Chains A and B, each alone.
Chain A
Amino acid sequence: VTYPEQDSPSFRQLLKSGLAVAVNPGGALKTQLQSYPASWAMAVSGSAFLLIFLQSGLDLHRTGQAEAVQALGWGLVGLGFGTVGVGLLATIAWLLAHPFGRNKPWGWALRAFSLAYSPALIYGILGLAANLVLGWNTAVAFGVTGFIWAIGPMLTAAQEMTEDHTGASYLIGTTCGSLMLVGWGVMVS
């Protein structure tokens, strides 16, 4: 799906393209990313981490370790982590990929890394529903699963940025995944 004659693609098209990254990252990153608005892409990762961190706050609130306002504060921290943190991650990946391939601009890396968290957004929504409806402690279970399913699209994005240099792309993907894993692990623990 490309948007040659439309300045602003419809919400349905944006949703479809965002979900395509979760289902078929290789195809989606090659064909659908060029015209995807960066703000929408960052909204995906921002919302994903907002929901996951909000669940951390709700889990703590349920066990009496945090007030309701603090739980909402956790959500805001997640929003920052999913926008500023993922933006920083995309910048690191773009810089590391630079010696191997220079065909992708920084904006492309930002959109690709942000949309890589569309599986995390799906798990974030499911986790919040389970948290509120069933009263489960969901932050770690759903958050970790969502994070893990973002690794694949991140590796695919790194492969595109390094022009199919497998070793470099796996190194970049592992580095970025480790930074995200440790950053998030330290914050929620």
Chain B
Amino acid sequence: VRGRLLILFCFGALGVLTGYSSLENSQGLLVLCFVTGCLFGVGCLLLTSLPLHLFFRGVVSKNGAGAIGDCLNTGFLALVPFTLLAFLAELLLNWNATSAFASAGLMFCGGVTAGALAKADPGHPQGMLRALVPTLAAALASFCWLAMWAVFIPLLGRVAGA
């Protein structure tokens, strides 16, 4: 549970950093960015777990119903270093690069999740398609993250300006 909370906190923190340069003066809107990031994280983990349950049935049958969730936890904890480095880049160096950190971080999480799933079911031959499923899901999540903030930040900007 602590791992899952840390992952959601990372999503929230990346949300705050995404909004930080555009909505610097509005603490209320930054809280909204945090909540939106966390909610995206919940949706991302839930939606990513669906195809994994479908393609990695052996993992569930060997390790129990919570095994896919554990592999997702292992994979998405890799978001922590990317979040810390995004903080450093945004606050210390004033680089507006949080989207790039989040995007690369999510893609890397997909790769780590694939590795964790392969470890959980070592007997099953790891076909190319199966190995690509977590990576493709993470790529889709990365695209959705970018698209969501591209729409959401201008909306919040209008609210702040009104």
Give the interface of A toward B (CB within 8 A): 24-26, 140, 144-145, 148-149, 151-152, 155, 166, 170, 173-174, 177-178, 181-182, 185, 189
Main secondary structure of the interface of B (DSSP, over half): helix
**What residues of A have a CB within 8 angstroms of the CB of B101 in the complex?**
148
Contact A166 B74 (CB under 8 A): yes
**What residues of B have a CB within 8 angstroms of the CB of A174 in the complex?**
80-81, 84-85
Give the interface of B toward A (CB within 8 A): 74, 77-78, 80-82, 84-85, 88-89, 92-93, 95, 97, 100-101, 104-105, 107-108, 111, 115
Known A166-B74, A181-B93; judge A151-B88 contact (CB<8 A): no
**Ordered nearest first, which 7 A-B pairs have the shortest CB separation?**
A152-B108, A185-B93, A174-B81, A148-B104, A177-B85, A170-B81, A144-B97
Known A181-B88, A182-B92, A182-B93; judge A152-B111 contact (CB<8 A): yes
Contact B78 A155 (CB under 8 A): yes
Complex: how many Å from CA A148 to CA B97?
9
Main secondary structure of the interface of A (DSSP, over half): helix
A151 to chain B minimum Cβ distance, whole angstroms, is: 6
**What residues of A have a CB within 8 angstroms of the CB of B93 in the complex?**
181-182, 185, 189
Out of A24, A170, A178, name the residue touching B111 (CB < 8 Å): A24
Known A148-B104, A181-B93; judge A170-B78 contact (CB<8 A): yes
B46 to chain A minimum Cβ distance, whole angstroms, is: 23
B47 to chain A minimum Cβ distance, whole angstroms, is: 22
Complex: how many Å from CA A174 to CA B80?
9
Contact B88 A170 (CB under 8 A): no
Complex: how many Å from CA A143 to CA B31?
31
**What residues of B have a CB within 8 angstroms of the CB of A149 in the complex?**
104
A154 to chain B minimum Cβ distance, whole angstroms, is: 9
Closest residue of B by beta carbon distance from A158: B81
Out of B74, B82, B92, name the residue touching A151 (CB < 8 Å): B82
Complex: how many Å from CA A151 to CA B100?
12
- Can you report 16 A-B residue pairs in the complex whose CB atoms are below 8 A from each other? A24-B111, A26-B115, A144-B89, A144-B95, A144-B97, A148-B97, A151-B104, A151-B105, A151-B108, A170-B78, A170-B80, A178-B84, A182-B88, A185-B92, A185-B95, A189-B93
**What residues of A have a CB within 8 angstroms of the CB of B78 in the complex?**
152, 155, 170
Complex: how many Å from CA A173 to CA B82?
10
Closest residue of A by beta carbon distance from B83: A174
B110 to chain A minimum Cβ distance, whole angstroms, is: 10
